[in-house]
Structure 1
Amino acid sequence: MTAPTQPPKRPMGRAILRSALSLGLFAIVTAGVVAGTRTLTFDRIADNRQASQYRVLKEVLPEALRDVPIEALLDNAVMLPASEAMGQHQPFRGWRVKRGDNAALLMPVVATGGYNGDIHLLVGVDQDGRVSGVRVTRHQETPGLGDKIERRKSDWITDFNGRSLEDPAPEGWEVTKDGGEFDAFTGATITPRAVVRAVKRSLEYVEAEGDSLFQADQEDQP
């Protein structure tokens, strides 16, 4: 009986090389797809973040200045003096808007002492020392409790509108649990306490720095 013919054996080295090339090509294609997706996603996140910042800047302006074009607002960026109380250890960027008899200063403020860390705010103050608006720009507070400081979650943050160092009196710049005039959240007193105290410090900062913050001859570009 004739023995069955065995198929020729392929060289092992060639098979390994072919597998390595296939894996390498797959890795290159995958890396390219991931990099492209990351670039597109990063650009989209950056655009969304910028649009959100523009919207928030407008929201903390006095009513009489909210129709100021965003380009004009951004062109009036100023460098403000550093303040430990504001959580700004170096000179920092703010925005000043002035038209006719109306003027406002918009400032990023870091509220320390939040339940889960710092709470970042944008605070608007007009030339009469009144709060024109406050918005939370970043935080890590507990969902369903501390996140009520967000405007989209509640209107609590709007209670600062029109307030000044005289309204309420100094002792009123606390949450109700501490004898003040600002509501505390059930089960989350630490969060609103940090925000209330930060807004008060913002007003104190403006008062201490004086009218120079609103002068048009101050350096406009950071």
Structure 2
Amino acid sequence: MKYLKKILKNSFIMSFFSVLSLCIVGYINYITKNQIKNQKEEEKKIFIQQVIPYSIYNSYEKKKYLVENELLGDLKKHNLWLLFQDKIAKVAIVESTAPDGYSGSIYMLVAAYLNGKIIGVRVLSHKETPGIGDKIDISISNWITKFKDLSVINEQDNHVLLKKYGGQIDQFTGATITPQAVTNAIKRTVIFIKRIPLIFSLKR
């Protein structure tokens, strides 16, 4: 009988510490996930400040949406911020994806007027080759700033293309796939932005 009680006691103690360990691990994971999420949100705020002048961002009414559209590179949900002036949508800031980067998907933030004029672009994250494809990153090169003030008229517009294809955008030495993927994604994203009034039934 004493032996049985000892076994039950040991089993209870082991079970208790197993449950306690699981709770601790779960809590740590929860805290870590929240910290990572908060860090990403803070980084996103910094990028938003880089793609659009504070004077514009701060003087417009803002609304945030979640959108799905193949022009944004995939069918995942993307954050979209619309900026309104006198209840009329004027500017869009949207997360977009270049799914065909050399080393995988490239995630970006694109800001443009609804008439198709680009305000700014920043790459949020990527896995492109250091020293070659990573020039898309503002911390490495100012290449991404070349899109500022360019306008996209339609899908056949040749302005927002690499120079080797008749456009205005430089490719990198030894790398064409990465800048081409980003350029094409930006162009598609601006076309999406131009269609926002139709998608949301908004006034221009």
What TM-score bracket applies, with the shorter chain setting the length? 0.7 to 0.9
Counterpart check, 1:98 vs 2:98: no
Structure 1 residues 110-153: Cα deviation after superposition (integer angstroms, max 9, x where no partner): 22311122222221111442101112223332344323322223
Q: Note the aligned Cα RMSD (angstroms).
A: 3.6
Q: Please report the TM-score for the alignment, with normalisation by the length of structure 1.
A: 0.69
**Is the alpha carbon distance of 1:91 and 1:183 closer, same or farther for their aligned partners in structure 2, counting shifts above 3 Å?**
same
* In 1: Cα distance, 2:111 partner to 2:5 partner: 71
User: Paired residue for 1:77?
Assistant: 64
The answer as to 2:79 corresponding to 1:87 is no
Distance in 2, matches of 1:125 and 1:57, equals: 12
Checking the alignment, whether the CA contact within 8 Å between 2:103 and 2:129 is kept in structure 1 is: yes
- Larger % of strand: which? 2
Aligned to 1:154, the other structure's residue is in SS state coil
Q: Which residue of 2 aligns with 1:158?
A: 145
Deviation at residue 83 of structure 1 after TM alignment: 4.0
Contact kept, 8 Å, 2:82 with 2:89, in 1: the verdict is no
Larger radius of gyration: 1
Please state if 1:37 is matched with 2:28: yes
Say if 2:73 and 2:97, in contact at 8 Å, map to a contact too.
yes
Change beyond 3 A, Cα 1:28–1:126: same
> Which residue of the partner structure matches residue 122 of structure 1?
109
Identity, in percent, stands at 28
Structure 1 contact 103–127 (Cα < 8 Å) conserved: yes
Count of residues in Structure 1 that have an aligned counterpart in Structure 2 = 200
> What letter corresponds to residue 147 of structure 2 in structure 1?
F
Distance in 2, matches of 1:17 and 1:25, equals: 12
> Gapped runs of 5+ residues in structure 2?
none
Task: Please list, as runs of the form range in 1=range in 2, the aligned pairs for 1:132-171 lying within 5 A after superposition.
Answer: 132-165=119-152, 170-171=157-158
Q: Does the alignment pair 1:184 with 2:175?
A: no
